[in-house]
Amino acid sequence: MAIAVESLERRIIKSIEENRQAYVATSHAIHERPEIGNEEYFATAQLQRLLEEAGFDVQAGIPEHDTAFIARKKSALDGPKIGYLAEYDALPGLGHACGHNLIGTTSVAAAIALAEVIDEVGGEVVVLGTPAEEGGPNGSAKGTFVRHGLVQDLDAAMMVHPQAETSGTSPSLAVDPIDFEFFGVSAHAAANPEAGINALDGVIQLYNGVNAMRQHVTDDVRIHGVILDGGEAPNVVPDYARARFYIRAKTRESCNDITAVVKQIAEGAALQTGATMKATHIQNGVDHLVLNEAFDELFKKHIVDLGEEYKHSKIGIGSTDAGNISRVVPTIHPYIKIGDSNLVPHTDAFREAAKSEVGDKALMKGAKALALTGLDLLTKPMILRVIQEEFKSNV
């Protein structure tokens, strides 16, 4: 079987190399037409087209997300179901400054290459087109995939994210994005202020309460917010005010606890000011990543064999909705270098790196490593069993 697998590996690499021009062109086209979460109509069409041309059965749209998709290619032979996570949304005002043009194209390229050998090895290759990873209204679509039971049949899931260094999956924080709306009573601020109830005062008291609780939380907790509405004129008591907070913590469970406290502070702020308050989760809550060392090591082997220098993962302080997938399916979210070691995501420099020659090379290497990792999962049952056992012990 070892000789046969080596032959399949060569076919996979050849497939990706022969389609390099199409994959780079797709990545650049998506980069040039950035679309924010749940508005990625151009990007999703480009990725779906590649998959359809490769013989995948593509289902466009899932409940709540028009720009999502699920693509499948199945063998007549039984075997594991291997999932690839595709992201393709951009950042408001910054375009693809997180490199999602690379993420979506890399996952699609890996899936297409792996699917070319699926008839020999058995199993199924699945691509999940997941919009709005960057959040926003009805954002973090991977949480929706989980809620609707669209990933639970996978045996494993993976993606690779552009970064300043090539490294393994790092921890990430759970996050709850919440809008706090305060409703008061309008009045003339000079003529009859006593008749008014100041909704902005409720928001300010919420801010003060959150600041007071900061000394009583663990080091992993991050709470940050902005005032989105605070009134129209200073001589009118504002009857409506709104703040948006992101509440983060090391685990989903601890995030739930912190969120409950922040909601109590908001309720107290409403009582103090006489306003009424409404708290709304504007998108799916994002879960922490459940790490899987055995799975990461499998990817590491292939990316190192392809010539990448692999760094140790740093402590994670950001958030990704890949964490939602990782709580129901063994999942990895490693990183691949696309520029200088001081490159920082969500910047102009990172956006330019995502369409650079180094970025294009990362796309090709990332696709090869993801596809070869998938081949191992399909052809080496013991490796998959070890990964799934570690998953069960970690969730």
What band does 315 get if pLDDT is binned at 50, 70 and 90?
low
DSSP H or E stretch at residue 374: helix 357-379
Average of per-residue pLDDT values in the chain: 96
| Domain residue ranges of the chain, discontinuous segments joined by + | 8-171+288-394, 174-281
Given this model, what pLDDT does residue 3 score? 53
Q: Is residue 233 predicted with pLDDT exceeding 80? A: yes
Q: Sheet of 65-74: strands edge to edge?
A: 57-62, 65-74, 124-129, 81-86, 156-158, 331-332
The per-residue pLDDT for 154 is 98
Provide the percentage of residues in the chain whose pLDDT is more than 70: 98
Of the pLDDT bands very low, low, confident and very high (cuts 50, 70, 90), residue 317 is confident
pLDDT at 2: 53
- Per cent of the chain over pLDDT 90 is 96
User: HSE-up of 153 (CA within 13 Å, CB side)?
Assistant: 13
Q: What is the mean pLDDT of residues 274-296?
A: 97
- How large is the average pLDDT for residues 214-240? 96
Which pLDDT band, with edges at 50, 70 and 90, does 4 fall under? confident
Amino acid at the residue 297: E
Collapsing DSSP to helix, strand or coil, 202 comes out as helix
Give the mean model confidence (pLDDT) for residues 51-73: 97
Res. 176: pLDDT tops 50: yes
Considering the domain 174-281, what is its CATH architecture? 2-Layer Sandwich (3.30)
Q: Does the pLDDT value for residue 225 go beyond 70?
A: yes
Predicted local distance difference test score (pLDDT) of residue 136: 87
Measure CA of the first residue to CA of the last residue in the chain; give whole Å.
33
Burial of 387 (0-12, 13-18, 19+ CB in 10 A): buried
Give residue 1's pLDDT. 46
Report the alpha-carbon distance of residue 379 to residue 119 in Å, rounded.
12
Mean pLDDT of all residues in 295-304: 98
Assess whether pLDDT exceeds 70 at residue 208: yes
Token reading at 191: 């003529």
SS3 for 152? coil
Instruction: Give me the residue label for tokens 């009857």.
Output: 239
To which H or E segment does residue 336 belong? strand 335-337
Mean per-residue pLDDT, 8-15:
98
pTM to 2 decimals? 0.94
For the record, the structure tokens of 224 come out as 């940050």
pLDDT in tens, 73-122: 999 999 999 999 999 999 999 999 999 999 999 999 999 999 999 999 99
**Equal fold, 8-171+288-394 vs 174-281:** no
Give which of 319, 145, 170, 176 is closest to 254, Cα–Cα: 176
CATH of domain 8-171+288-394: 3.40.630.10
Per-residue pLDDT, 318: 87
